[in-house]
């Protein structure tokens, strides 16, 4: 069993971009979503993408006109983002750090924070999620927005539904296996990879924290955030709150 950072550094980061596939349609979809939800920047607004990965959200934000600070704990995925940043010459500052360092950037006066793509559930407990959300509140400028997205695992998967075929091609087969363990969800990424004509299995597990929409909204309200809306976007619970 690995910590999330170890899991990404030693396993998932090596094929994460392959798993996502063509990034451009996903960037455009997120960009359009921000436009639809009236979340485009005013003047040169600072935005922080928490758990930026290889840049799906960060690139969309920068193309819309935000000055972006992209934070992630995986250097390999951030290097891919850096290559895109150079190619497009877009304003993204790339930081290899844990998302719990968000308050270090309060001096930048960010008015838009994002934690998308199920990053929130990588935190170790509901208490740590609460502490992270408090840090986000402290970091945001007055009237600033926080956008969250995560998968709601509050209804545990049973039987065969625990096995999720993620992606396959001639050389790789990826299956995600989910096991309910009370307040935690054990996530196993099982990769079969062809090498020299034979298949080899690579496997790694880590925990996610189970979080429901209702729990998240309660935490946000208790911290002082004002609810704006919730939605389902690309099969993820999505919430916007303001300070």
Supply the pLDDT for residue 42: 80
Least Cα distance to 88 among 24, 182, 160, 163 occurs for 24
pLDDT, residue 152, reads: 87
pLDDT at 156: 73
How high is the pLDDT of residue 24?
95
- Mean pLDDT across the chain, nearest whole number? 94
3-state helix, strand, coil in the chain (%, to 5): 40, 35, 25
Task: Provide the percentage of residues in the chain whose pLDDT is more than 70.
Answer: 100
Locus of tokens 């396993």: 11
Give 144's Cβ-side CA count (13 Å radius): 20
Flag whether pLDDT at 122 surpasses 80: yes
- Each residue of 43-79: pLDDT tens digit? 769 999 999 999 999 999 999 999 999 999 999 999 9
Encode pLDDT of 220-243 as tens digits: 999 999 999 999 999 899 999 999
pLDDT at 153 over 90: no
């Amino acid at each position: 069993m690995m910590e999330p950072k170890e899991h990404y550094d030693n396993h998932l980061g090596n094929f994460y971009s392959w798993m996502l596939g063509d990034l451009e349609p996903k960037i455009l979809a997120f960009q359009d979503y921000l436009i639809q939800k009236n979340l485009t920047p005013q003047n040169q607004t600072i935005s922080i993408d928490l758990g930026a990965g290889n840049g799906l959200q960060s690139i969309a934000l920068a193309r819309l006109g935000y000055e972006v600070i992209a934070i992630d704990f995986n250097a390999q995925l951030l290097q891919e983002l850096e290559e895109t940043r150079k190619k497009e010459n877009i304003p993204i500052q790339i930081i290899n750090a844990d998302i719990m360092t968000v308050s270090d950037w309060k001096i930048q006066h960010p008015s838009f924070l994002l934690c998308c793509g199920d990053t929130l559930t990588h935190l170790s407990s509901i208490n740590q999620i609460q502490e992270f959300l408090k840090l986000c509140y402290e970091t945001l400028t007055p009237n600033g927005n926080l956008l969250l997205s995560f998968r709601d695992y509050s209804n545990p998967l049973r039987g065969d539904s625990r096995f999720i075929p993620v992606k396959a091609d001639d050389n790789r087969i990826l299956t995600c296996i989910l096991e309910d363990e009370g307040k935690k969800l054990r996530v196993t990424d099982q990769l079969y990879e062809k090498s020299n004509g034979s298949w080899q299995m690579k496997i790694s597990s880590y925990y996610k924290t189970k979080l429901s929409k209702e729990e998240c909204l309660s935490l946000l309200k208790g911290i002082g955030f004002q609810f704006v809306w919730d939605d389902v976007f690309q099969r993820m619970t999505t919430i916007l709150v303001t300070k």
